[in-house]
Copies of this chain bind each other. A is one copy, B any other.
């Protein structure tokens, strides 16, 4: 696989942005592989993801930010530069439900998700054998109402020490503190087992059953301070009918949850997501 650079940009929309960026890449010998652009005409914001082959690109990777800086300033860009060779470090948080965990373990192992899965953290010991079966370290951090913040500090310490770039809450049934969320802004992906914004909070399948909906869903999103209110990354749905008991909904929902979470994780690891205004732009 050839090495590539990826530029993720958002800035006020103005004439000539695209010409400037593509001109810069072309001038230095870069071959553009993907260019995806989007304008929010309501808010007049320009978004872009552009990826180019580095094989004959004249600017060395470490000099790229410096070289690009003048353009960024000219257009007041908010931007990130990523390289396909930079593999992100990942941690999974889990409680007792195991279907999302199995799915992620398999996909990391199979190479479908490009990331270093460094460890799994849980507030329960139950899933230790599963995790270790895949040769991944497992940390048990029991939590009570009392010690929650303390324990979180230890988790943050571990996550920082291991330079974790992405935290996946794979049906982790705990609410994270604002302090925690703040440390990892747009770096925590949660899976919620409803079609948000319907059924925010606990027991969404029970409430879906009570309401008599004909379709249920799952939603992956970045975690923010407000419960289930973060930027939505992906959603999917499945039909249900009066024949489906709550147990059937939970079963059908599991299949959604694991796919919807896996898609979000893949896009994040491939640097395909831009967050703005509590929403996401997915350059798929």
Which among B38, B195, B245, B259 is the interface contact of A255 at CB below 8 angstroms? B259
Q: Counting chain B CB atoms within 10 Å of each CB, which of A38, A196, A197 scores highest?
A: A197
Question: Is A189 engaged at the interface, CB distance under 8 Å to the other chain?
Answer: no
Q: Assess whether B237 is in contact with A213, with CB atoms less than 8 Å apart.
A: no
Proximity string of chain A (225-265) to chain B, C-beta cutoff 8 Å, 1 when within and 0 when not: 00000011111110101110110000100010001000000
Q: List 16 A-B contacts (CB under 8 A).
A: A15-B26, A15-B30, A18-B22, A18-B26, A19-B25, A19-B26, A33-B39, A34-B39, A35-B35, A36-B37, A196-B213, A197-B211, A212-B231, A212-B232, A212-B279, A212-B280
Select from chain B the residue with minimum beta-carbon distance to A16: B26
Contact flags (1/0) for A252-284 with B, using CB distance below 8 Å?
000100010000000000000000011111101
If A18-B22, A215-B195 touch, whether A282 touches B237 (CB-CB below 8 Å) is no
Given contacts A41-B245, A239-B239, A242-B282, 5 further A-B contacts (CB under 8 A): A133-B133, A197-B198, A212-B231, A213-B235, A242-B280
Summarize A's interface: helix, strand, loop or mixed: mixed
Q: Are A232 and B213 in contact (CB under 8 A)?
A: yes
Chain B residues, CB < 8 A from A243:
38, 284
Q: Is A32 an interface residue (CB 8 A)?
A: yes
B residues less than 8 Å from A29 (CB atoms) = 15
A contact residues vs B (CB 8 Å cutoff): 15-16, 18-20, 22-23, 25-27, 29-42, 47, 98-99, 102, 106, 110, 112, 133, 195-199, 211-215, 217, 231-237, 239, 241-243, 245-246, 251, 255, 259, 277-282, 284
Report A79 CB to chain B, min CB distance, Å: 18
> Which single member of B110, B235, B251 contacts A99 (CB below 8 Å)?
B110
The docked-state distance in angstroms from the alpha carbon of A23 to that of B212 is: 32
The interface residues of chain B lying within 8 Å CB-to-CB of A280 are 212, 242
Least CB distance from A279 to B in Å reads: 3
Q: Output the least CB separation between A274 and chain B (Å).
A: 9
Report the minimum CB–CB distance from A232 to chain B (whole Å).
5
Contacts A18-B35, A26-B16 given: A197-B196 contact, CB under 8 Å?
no
